[in-house]
Structure 1
């Protein structure tokens, strides 16, 4: 159970009823629409900061009440917080001299110098935030609190691998660095969360990004019922490449590890160049 709440107890918003308002106050409805579940447990915040290893410029999407914002600043980072809720922006600006930007993080232009993203992000726009991070050329890492299921799917923790993870694998590592109980948030969400870290590799694992994307998209097309059947449509007899990568010819695409994809790509494109 969460203890040492840094910013009050928001649980009253889950039970406060106002007649004629559908059981929720206007502030409750705003929190629901903005997917606001604030990380308030100090231990969880410290765990997130430790996982992020903040240094230099750090951008925080969804600064909320500022608990994580100020923890990142105390750790020595140059923090820029983004928050779309004007009431929260006003409160943060009144309490700190850190840079707080009122607006939608996913519409922001990425910095033109190296930076990291750290945040306990709104669940409803997790995919948009992750896509923004993956497309930001100077991003070094993204350490994000997401729904546990999302983090497990993207990191391969279920023993399966998603298209997003495989497509970005030559440039980014994906891993879970901790689980956060739902009681660490106010209001309390219905599911647990996890710390998902996406870290840019110092050297990409493939050189031809367009060819890699073509291979992965074809592999995930689902035509033929297996990865081998899908790739054989483009690469002819791919058996030798599958043998090198130790991938069975009847395996479904989701169960192929990203490192095996790298092996397949290397073998198939070496064959094309002969």
Structure 2
């Protein structure tokens, strides 16, 4: 029997070592197995999640950047012709042109880049990712506050926190627990395509930090009376800090301020 491959610190590897957790993540990725589902896996590692995803899709493209792991993955799935193990960096891959889903146990150090890749992929329908717990909670508003990335992408993408995964489910054991982030592209965006420019400008202005509050930041580009009206419509106190405004309240602010 071949010795298990040691995790690489340089690649921020923590292999998923619990079959039950892999099955749970696969069910969250594809709740109902479908013959037409195209899945792309980020960082197949030693194949724990790959094995749980494979029965739930038509085709699985499993990316693995570590060349030491690729031969073992290919040997493990050589009897599953719909599973294609691709040796290389997921971030360098061109997104499929047909609708597809992403799943993966994401290296903590590369989470931001993986998420950015997903948000930019035109045909992506959803992404279910194991990330550092703090990242998962922060991006999904689970701490009671919201980040620039989440608000900016909200009209096109919904972010959800689907639970905590104990760090003991990984090998080597990382220093913190993981969380499951679900990002779903909306079938119908919440604002019209021609409004994305004004949306992005509003959100960037609000998060600029100038003035010490969201209200003060927005007054830099909009009349005070209109900002007051927008805050009333969104049921926001003028002293509200930028991270405290929910996505729904941002949409109301944009509705009022863009009209002016």
> By the TM > 0.5 criterion, same fold?
yes
Of 206, 212, 216, the match for 1:219: 206
Aligned to 1:263: 252
- In the TM superposition, what is the alpha-carbon distance from 1:254 to its structure 2 partner? 0.7
2:102 aligned partner: 117
Residue 143 of structure 1 corresponds to: 128
1:49 positional shift: 1.0
Q: Is the 8 A contact 1:59 1:118 kept in 2?
A: yes
Q: Which one of the candidate residues 242, 249, 252 is aligned to 2:238?
A: 249
Deviation at 1:90, TM superposition (A): 1.1
In the alignment, what sits opposite 1:100? 85
1:18-57 to structure 2, matched below 5 A, reads: 28=6, 31-53=8-30, 55=34, 56-57=37-38
Please state how far the C-alpha of 1:76 moved relative to its aligned partner. Answer: 3.0
Is 2:147 the partner of 1:162?
yes
Moved over 4 A (4+): none
Q: CA offset at residue 46 of structure 1?
A: 1.3
**Is residue 106–residue 132 contact of structure 1 (8 Å, CA) maintained in 2?**
yes
8 Å contact from structure 1 (residues 80, 101) kept in 2: yes
What secondary structure does 1:33 align onto? coil
Question: 2 CA distance for matches of 1:147 and 1:259?
Answer: 26
Distance in 1 of aligned mates of 2:97 and 2:105: 24
Asked if the contact 2:39/2:57 (under 8 Å) is kept, the reply is no
Taking the aligned partners of 1:9 and 1:165, their CA distance within structure 2 comes to: 42
Q: Deviations over 1:127-186 (max 9, x none)?
A: 000000001111000000001100000000111101010000001111111211001001
For residues 73-92 of structure 1, the C-alpha deviation after alignment (integer angstroms, 9 at most, x for no partner) is 11234110110111111111
Question: Do structure 1's residue 83 and structure 2's residue 60 form an aligned pair?
Answer: no
RMSD of equivalent CA atoms: 1.6
- Is 1:205 aligned with 2:190? yes
Instruction: Measure, in 1, the Cα distance between the counterparts of 2:145 and 2:14.
Output: 28
* Structure 1 alignment gaps of length 5 or more: 1-7, 11-26
1:239 to 228, 235, 242: 228
Which whole-Å CA distance do the structure 1 matches of 2:233 and 2:3 have between them?
56
CA contact (8 A) 1:176 1:195 kept: yes
Q: Which runs of 5 or more residues in structure 2 are unaligned?
A: none
SS in 2 for 1:118: strand
The 1:224–1:49 alpha-carbon spacing in structure 2 relative to 1, beyond 3 Å, is same
Deviations 1:61-103 (A, max 9, x none): 1010111112111123411011011111111112213211111
From 143, 152, 158, give the equivalent of 1:173. 158
8 Å Cα contact 1:9-1:186 kept in structure 2: no
Q: What does residue 4 of structure 1 align with?
A: none
TM-score (norm 2): 0.91
How many pairs does the alignment contain?
247
Q: Is the 8 A contact 2:67 2:87 kept in 1?
A: yes
